[in-house]
């Protein structure tokens, strides 16, 4: 990669004619934040020098630093972090600050590989639909990022508003259909995919030729071939619809991490099918977040029978579910799981889950719950888990809850 050198145009703002449009104010805000950090560091350095004695200060005067003085390598590191963690088209904003920053941004295609399609979530209030111009801008920027990222692997996030949870929603009022089409054409480049979708948006994105059936009535069969995800390594799906939906991504050859939130998925083509026809040979980690019911959680846990390579299961934010009692005496054995983590979940769920599931090969168990070590040990011992592998226990504060962990040696 060729890094442009610093020129006399470092701080010259790009003219409107050069950018073919008005400057993005996000770039100016980012510049001000970086300058503020540098000023704070310069002030700290000056104070340190004064306390080191007058002779040292005279021989080493402090020259106030500026963001313009940062070498290209440091600027690129800052840009990379901002682009990978941002949610508002940071790559485009940074490239509009000045000519030098634009040259730096265009010198590295990976800086354009992080694409986020979302809206300013107004939760708990309803989120107003986007204007036509905003949807058009989303499509144009998506196409621009795909071109400038060249052949780099992509990290893609598509999120509907939280207010849509459990509602019938017209996703095209919030996510550009044109942007979705551009991403579908480049799906083979996607390495990380995070979706917060309802049934309509997932249906439109996943299938090459989606059917015209009424999705509200449920969708328990694949309707066409899915988009290719040959290089996908991690997939997060937050499903925010009240309808059960057939999980469309059945064959992901390189997937290693799968996270399901608010799941309403059916992994089975029919109720009589014992094992879903999933082809994900490298999947080793399954995360389940905010299940709608213990029954739904149990159905998802049956994936362990179809995916023998899974070694770690993580359960997060499981509330007090209304249907716990029918499962309190059932026993399910998962012989391949060696690591189990349960975070921010109710004690009632923990008790029922530990009584319902047995993990003979378990080597590490971590709880992030508002429980004491004694309470956790009592639950595990009563469910038959404690005696075999409980060799060490630590109680470490983690914000508003405690982290209790055990491991075998």
Average pLDDT for residues 398-403, to the nearest whole number? 47
Look at residue 349 and tell me whether its pLDDT is greater than 50: yes
* Choice among 75-79, 82-86, 363-367 with the minimum mean pLDDT: 363-367
Look at residue 328 and tell me whether its pLDDT is greater than 60: no
Position 407 scores a pLDDT of 53
- d(CA 346, CA 344) in angstroms, rounded, equals 7
Average pLDDT taken over every residue of the chain: 75
- 255 pLDDT band (50/70/90 cuts)? very high
Percent of the chain with pLDDT over 90: 23
- d(CA 141, CA 147) in angstroms, rounded, equals 10
Running DSSP on this structure, what letter comes out for residue 111? G
The Cβ of residue 365 has, within 10 Å, a number of other Cβ atoms equal to: 23
340: phi then psi, degrees, rounded to nearest 5: -135, 130
Domain ranges of the chain: 13-108, 113-283
- 226 pLDDT band (50/70/90 cuts)? confident
Task: Return the higher-pLDDT residue of 83 and 320.
Answer: 83
Q: Which of 106-120, 214-228, 234-248 has the highest mean pLDDT?
A: 106-120
Position 3 scores a pLDDT of 53
Position 147 scores a pLDDT of 95
Percent of the chain with pLDDT over 70: 62
Position 403 scores a pLDDT of 53
Task: Return the higher-pLDDT residue of 268 and 183.
Answer: 183
Look at residue 224 and tell me whether its pLDDT is greater than 60: yes
> Which structure tokens are listed for 254?
């390189």
Tens-digit pLDDT profile for residues 56-67: 444 555 555 567
Number of H helices, E strands in the chain: 14, 15
DSSP helix/strand/coil, 98: coil
Q: Which of 115, 176, 101, 116 is nearest to 146 (CA)?
A: 115
- d(CA 98, CA 24) in angstroms, rounded, equals 11
Position 194 scores a pLDDT of 95
Look at residue 230 and tell me whether its pLDDT is greater than 90: yes
192: phi then psi, degrees, rounded to nearest 5: -125, 130
Task: Return the higher-pLDDT residue of 231 and 243.
Answer: 231
| DSSP secondary structure of 120-132 | ---TTSPPPPPPH
Look at residue 317 and tell me whether its pLDDT is greater than 60: yes
pTM (predicted TM-score): 0.76
114: phi then psi, degrees, rounded to nearest 5: -105, 110
Average pLDDT for residues 360-374, to the nearest whole number? 72
* Choice among 43-52, 133-142, 392-401 with the minimum mean pLDDT: 392-401
> Which structure tokens are listed for 225?
């071939």
> Which structure tokens are listed for 360?
């003979």
Average pLDDT for residues 18-44, to the nearest whole number? 56
- d(CA 373, CA 361) in angstroms, rounded, equals 22
Task: Return the higher-pLDDT residue of 233 and 72.
Answer: 233
Mutual orientation of helices 294-301 and 347-356 as an angle, nearest 10°?
A: 40
Average pLDDT for residues 176-202, to the nearest whole number? 92
- d(CA 191, CA 233) in angstroms, rounded, equals 5
Q: Which of 293, 305, 213 is nearest to 268 (CA)?
A: 305
Average pLDDT for residues 190-204, to the nearest whole number? 89
């Amino acid at each position: 990669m060729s890094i442009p050198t610093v020129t006399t145009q470092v701080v010259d703002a790009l003219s409107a004619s050069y950018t073919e449009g008005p400057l993005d104010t996000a770039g100016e805000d980012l510049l001000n934040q970086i300058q503020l950090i540098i000023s704070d560091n310069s002030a700290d350095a000056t104070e340190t020098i004064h306390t080191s004695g007058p002779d040292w200060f005279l021989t080493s005067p402090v020259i106030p630093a500026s963001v313009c003085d940062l070498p290209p390598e440091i600027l690129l590191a800052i840009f990379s972090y901002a682009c990978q963690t941002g949610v508002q088209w940071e790559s485009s904003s940074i490239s509009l600050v000045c000519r030098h920053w634009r040259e730096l941004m265009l010198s590295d295609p990976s800086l354009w590989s992080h694409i986020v399609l979302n809206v300013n979530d107004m939760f708990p209030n309803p989120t107003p639909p986007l204007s036509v111009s905003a949807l058009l801008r989303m499509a144009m920027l998506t196409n621009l990022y795909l071109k400038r990222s060249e052949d780099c692997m992509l990290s893609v996030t598509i999120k509907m508003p939280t207010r849509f949870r459990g509602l019938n929603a017209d996703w095209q009022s919030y996510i550009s259909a044109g942007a979705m089409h551009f991403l579908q054409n480049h799906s083979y480049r996607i390495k990380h995919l995070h979706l917060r979708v309802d049934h309509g948006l997932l249906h439109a994105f996943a299938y090459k030729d989606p059917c015209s059936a009424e999705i509200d009535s449920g969708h328990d069969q694949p309707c066409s071939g899915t988009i290719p995800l040959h290089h996908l390594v991690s997939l997060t799906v937050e499903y925010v619809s009240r309808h059960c939906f057939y999980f469309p991504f059945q064959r992901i050859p390189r997937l290693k991490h799968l996270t399901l939130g608010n799941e309403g998925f059916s992994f089975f083509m029919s109720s009589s099918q014992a094992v879903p026809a999933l082809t994900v040979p490298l999947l080793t980690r399954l995360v389940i977040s905010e299940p709608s019911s213990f029954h739904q959680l149990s159905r998802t846990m049956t994936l362990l029978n179809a995916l023998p390579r899974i070694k770690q299961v993580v359960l997060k934010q499981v509330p007090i579910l209304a249907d716990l009692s029918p499962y309190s005496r059932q026993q399910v054995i998962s012989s391949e799981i060696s690591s189990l983590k349960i975070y921010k979940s109710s004690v009632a769920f923990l008790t029922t889950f530990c009584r319902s599931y047995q993990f003979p090969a378990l080597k590490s168990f971590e709880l992030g719950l508002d429980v004491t070590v004694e309470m956790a040990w009592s639950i595990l011992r009563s469910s038959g888990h404690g005696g075999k592998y409980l060799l060490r226990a630590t109680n470490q504060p983690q914000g508003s809850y405690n982290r209790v962990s055990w491991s075998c040696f």
